[in-house]
């Protein structure tokens, strides 16, 4: 049985004492140091990191992944979480850890419906989640905002201001949460409609609300993925990225069956009303391309539909630089991280694997080599989930502040909110430092992106979108 994660909450000491300790941290870990970024002398080649990561993925999909990353420096950042993780590991931290997203960029924020059907704004990707220094998420988010601002045509000063305002909103939200009792902090959520109403840009406010209304309606029609086949619901192919892979069908069906068999009694009763009717595979995101991802259509005898998504969970990109995860199944790591960070979590969250024994190796503490590990969730409306990135295009300054608030709320659930608030302070020292780091690392990402594009031109890696994608070279094929 997997042990519980290490305690991440504050010790049982008064808030005032913990706040004072946060203030003292400024001496041992000055906030100005958070601005520091210089590539280390022996920095590993980013392309080599990506090629190594590709050895654990579906080789035929790697050209799609690389094509998506080649679009822009921001797109490259999205797929290069492993590169930035290696770089962040060498930057100064306070030692204050939280349950970290691990891949915290602006496109990994979005909306989903709460159990009450209300649109909630939150982090919506946890593939890389681990307990990590709080600064790492803030710095990655800040960098993504600078890159997005530049891509949108903002001058450098305005792009830098996005990161500064995000970090300032993060500090202000932490100060708001610090005096609250733990139950109140745990229950705090970002109501999306209320957040939109608070946008400074009136035009952005109107456009975003209209966009949200349309997205909520699409969720009621199963996102266009379900069709009727002689009265039986079936999933619809949308080549080249939503397709049937008959050779992988049995693997996914077995993983779904294992998920169903391990659900707690109250959920098992609900799921027993449905039967797995159809399976289809889907290419998602940028960083996730190359991992197994499929949709299962479950239906009742009356053809009422439940869509569940099963997604491969691999070792977090943060793992080489942190204490070992207590979870042997990476799907359990992802699910636990999501439950910690999100206020309104999916009732269908669970984890499973591709087959074979469930026994953990006594020496390594891991599941058998070659076993694919998955997490399961209710299929989220990708159009609703991706609404964050579209908000950013409409009103990036307001969106930056919203992301800062949201990240602070997520971190406060696991971190010592009083100590963090004491360290961050009410001024702009921390925000200015994050803005400086984000600008410098955005420059680094731009350089890395150019090197990545050069590697494609030289034939070191292949990038081609669509169903005619060429296979990756031999050094990026999946190891047997």
pTM across the whole model = 0.88
Is residue 86 scored above 50 in pLDDT?
Answer: yes
The pLDDT tens digits for 267-283 are 999 999 999 999 998 87
The pLDDT tens digits for 389-398 are 667 777 899 9
Rounded (10°) CA dihedral 437, 388, 415, 320: -60
What is the reported pLDDT for 218?
57
Is residue 18 scored above 90 in pLDDT?
Answer: yes
**Confidence band (pLDDT; 50, 70, 90) for 129?**
very high
The least confident of 19-28, 177-186, 249-258, 315-324 is 249-258
CB-count exposure of residue 197 (10 Å: 0-12, 13-18, 19+): exposed
Q: Distance (Å, rounded) from C-alpha 157 to C-alpha 433?
A: 14
Contact call for residues 109 and 406 (beta carbons, < 8 A): yes
* DSSP conformation class of 303: -
Contact call for residues 105 and 61 (beta carbons, < 8 A): no
């Amino acid at each position: 049985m997997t042990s519980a994660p290490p305690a991440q909450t504050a010790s049982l000491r008064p808030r005032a004492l913990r706040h004072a300790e946060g203030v003292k941290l400024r001496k041992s870990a000055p906030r100005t140091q958070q601005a520091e970024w210089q590539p280390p002398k022996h920095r590993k080649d980013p392309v080599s990191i990506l090629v190594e990561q590709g050895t654990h993925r579906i080789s035929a999909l790697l050209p799609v992944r690389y094509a998506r990353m080649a679009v822009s420096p921001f797109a490259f950042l999205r797929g290069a979480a492993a590169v930035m993780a290696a770089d962040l590991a060498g930057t100064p931290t306070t030692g204050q850890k939280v349950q970290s997203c691990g891949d915290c960029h602006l496109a990994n924020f979005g909306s989903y419906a709460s159990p009450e059907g209300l649109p909630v704004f939150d982090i919506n990707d946890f593939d890389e989640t681990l307990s990590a220094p709080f600064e790492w998420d803030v710095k990655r988010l800040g960098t993504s905002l600078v890159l997005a601002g530049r891509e949108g045509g903002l001058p450098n000063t305005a792009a830098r201001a996005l990161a500064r305002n995000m970090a300032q909103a993060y500090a202000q939200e932490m100060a708001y949460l610090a005096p609250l009792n733990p139950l109140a902090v745990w229950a705090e959520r970002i109501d999306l409609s209320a957040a939109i109403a608070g946008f400074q840009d009136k035009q952005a406010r109107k456009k975003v609300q209209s966009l949200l209304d349309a997205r909520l309606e699409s969720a009621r029609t199963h996102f266009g993925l379900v069709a009727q086949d002689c009265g039986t619901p079936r999933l619809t192919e949308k080549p080249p990225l939503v397709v049937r892979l008959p050779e992988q069908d049995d693997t996914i069906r077995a993983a779904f069956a294992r998920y169903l068999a391990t659900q707690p009694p109250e959920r098992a009763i609900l799921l027993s009303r449905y039967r797995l009717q159809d399976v289809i595979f889907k290419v998602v995101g940028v960083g996730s391309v190359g991992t197994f991802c499929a949709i299962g259509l479950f239906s009742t005898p009356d053809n009422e539909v439940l869509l569940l998504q099963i997604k491969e969970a691999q070792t977090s990109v943060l793992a080489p630089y942190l204490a070992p995860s207590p979870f042997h199944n990476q799907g359990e790591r992802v699910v636990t991280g999501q439950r910690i960070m999100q206020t309104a979590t999916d009732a269908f969250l669970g984890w499973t694997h591709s087959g074979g024994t469930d026994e953990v190796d006594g020496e390594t503490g891991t599941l058998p080599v070659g076993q694919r590990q998955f997490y399961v969730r209710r299929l989220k409306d990708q159009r609703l989930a991706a609404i964050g990135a579209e908000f950013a295009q409409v009103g990036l300054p307001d969106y930056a502040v919203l992301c800062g608030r949201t990240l602070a709320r997520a971190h406060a659930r696991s971190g010592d909110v009083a100590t963090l608030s004491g360290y961050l302070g009410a001024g702009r020292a921390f925000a200015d430092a994050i803005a400086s780091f984000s600008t410098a690392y955005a420059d680094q990402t731009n350089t890395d992106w150019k090197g990545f594009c050069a590697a494609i031109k030289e034939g070191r890696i292949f990038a081609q979108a669509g169903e005619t994608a060429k296979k990756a070279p031999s050094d990026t094929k999946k190891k047997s």
